[in-house]
Chains A and B, each alone.
Chain A
Amino acid sequence: MLRSRLQYIMMSAVALLLLASGCSKVEYRKIDSPAYLRVFNNLNYTISLENKDEPVPFLTMLIDPQTDQDGMPVSAAVKGDFLDQRDPYAPPYPSHAGTSISYKNPEYPGKENVLVGPVLNGFDLSSWAQIPSGKHRVMFMFRPVNNTPFFDLEPRLKKSVLIDTTLTLDAKEVYTLHVLQKDFITKKNGIYLRQENFHKLPLSDSMVYVNFYNMSAKGFQEADKSLKTGYKKSGALQNGVKDNMNIFYTLYKTEPSIAFPLPGYTQKFLGSLIRNSEVLQVTPYYSFPLFADGTSDGIHTTIWQHLDFMAPGMHPANNPYYPFQSETDGNWAPVECLLTGKTAIQGKENSALLPNMIVNIPSGIYNPRSFATVNTIEIVNGNIYLTTVQRKYAPPIY
């Protein structure tokens, strides 16, 4: 008796719920034939006495803006607000979307609540925003550093245009857009749109891939040290590297120690790097095996990467500089890709720090499991950045 009454009450509750919720219609947003776009603000200068009047590099991106008769934007189809200087690490998933407590966005889409890319040929594009394909007017505006949305600012603060240009985005293509300083002497700023091709290449999931760009401003390396912002964390890289560099790599077996370099993977030539902030082309991907360490179990590996950027004619084996020297005339810049990019190695004081290119994360029954990734390392003036793209992987089973 009691049971049937309970059932009756439950049933009517469910019926009520269905009645109440059944009428609301969910509007799903959809973009037909989208292009995938990820935007970085590479303006990494600091405001100092020398450049006191330069605008603070804090931006708003407007795609297809409507402007009033004075040329001031009043609305836009796509808005990427609070675009801060980029982080040293652009992770494969927009992880700061859930963890950040700041209004500042280190990239676009980053924390923005927009439609993001799908899994394309195995690669997870959730850090890329969907943008309608076709020709777009793109404006980047300097904005004051506060949490007022761009269109709510006072009119006089909405007039500082960094660039106003037109871009053509093709459907189903993957793009990264960079705001860059093009010339260090004239302080001219500009943008650089790169059509990525990693999702079209036959890349193996047992190899770690990396390509390199030097998108530094013209004249940065040659300029006097007193004119540059010293990024102490960049070590020997803080004053830039020469326009032509060779890249060497060494794999070490255990984090965070340099005691065990992997035999066969020490001081190996990887490729060359030419400064280029104008011509838009994807540089070749270089690779090394995920399980280069033969003693690992094929599931998890502790190897990490050391990179040396060296001027042509030099080799890490006959390096004339010492690891405590931060002034190497742009001839040598070492980088450690280790743990989360925060751990310095004793005896390698002038290295820039980046996170490990290999992603170690719980997956399936393994904790952790190592995954091969596709990486892009970008040098912009005295800073270095790592962008990691990862394939979709199985969720952990606990």
Chain B
Amino acid sequence: MNFTAPDFLPAIGEMFTLGMICVVMLAYLFFDKQNRGITYFLTQITLLGAAVIAIALYSHPTEITFDGSFILDPESLLLKIFILLSSVFVLMYSRPYIRDNEIAHGEFYLLILFSVLGMQVLVSAYSFLTLYLGLEVFSLPLYAMIALRHNRPVCQEAAMKYFIMGAIASGFLLYGMSLIYGACASLNIQEIVSMMSLSVNSQPMMLTVGLVFIAAGALFKLGVAPFHMWVPDVYEGAPNAMTLFIATAPKLAGFALLMRLLVEAMPALFPQWHYLLIAVAVLSMAIGNIIAIAQDNIKRMLAYSSIANMGYMLLGVIAGTPRGYGSAMFYIIMYVVMSLGAFGIITLLSRKGFELEKIDDFKGLNTRNPWLALMMLLIMFSMAGVPPSVGFFAKVGVLESLVQADIVWLPALALVFAIIGAYYYLRVVKVMYFDEPLEKTPIIVESFDAQLAISINGLAVFFLGIFPTAMIELCQKAFLV
């Protein structure tokens, strides 16, 4: 048997992360008692180092290695950079929370690192086998992470629910993959594409049923309607720091999963998944925006908002053009930046023995901490899509790509839902600025890095709104071959 060693260079980021995970694990075991910060700093160094590697590889030409199971392309690198950077921010926000609530910090950091490793694997996976393995590596730590806070039964319940739902979704995904494998006799995306263009006429039913199961599994992970039931429950039940993580980086990984499975592996089935995604996007926008209005729990409200936002992101994929995919990627990256800020503030405002959950807890935030209120204001305006903010440009991008693809009714409908959605975002602003605070005591963010993180995060939302061009171009270029 002939065997040539694969090119390891494209996977250097993953190897670095895995190596550093072992270092962090040993450091936590042996040096954490003397020096409590060491696990945290090593974790941050790992994430930043992997991000630097991804940036350094950016000019590397597209390459497929490990017998076609790994791809290095601008799409995967851009997603990796944002997954890593958003995880850096997650850690900065959640450090005081983890300390105050006596959650096992070493395990928390390790599980985050494992999950980030899985996401890196997933976004550059190029065969069904590595896609599935990446998915499991990134979601298993999430289930365990939620249950880490053992003194709250509601967290255990959320972890259990997430685990079972995730297992069912994985089952669907595998079932669909097995049908596609049966029809195409390969797990490699490259080979599937060529086999499918041959067999799409002879075995249309088998491929379509496989597609439906695969799409169900992937959409489940993204949390869009009608596969959204777990999203509000898990967001609400998970401790705030974990909700912060679940609501950010995994969305990017879910986007990559969807892109690789539907857009890149099954272009031959475009007519089938096109209509499927239209139905899902309309349902998500409707359910997300309308049910969010009725929520008085801010975590539930943001969960429904994430369902709606994933619906908007799908609009770009529905357009079916490189421009549409680029704007969908811009949309999801910007959504992650905004949701990072929103959940970051929720995490910062939670103290020992107090989980910030109600929208009423934001009452009069302006008098208690004007800077945090301003940052929340920027993020909420951006989520609502008020013009000079980045959320506006993200929405314009996906809608424009749909119009260019000659689908006009869908953007019109999306706009109606966006207007409905503006109500609940602006309500948070109203509560912060015009309502009397429940307690008068000012809120001081003691941790310097959390203060720094929220300032960078809020201002990023503001400045990306003023100068969005560079970022949009980066996303567009990722899909232009």
Q: Is B truly associated with A?
A: no
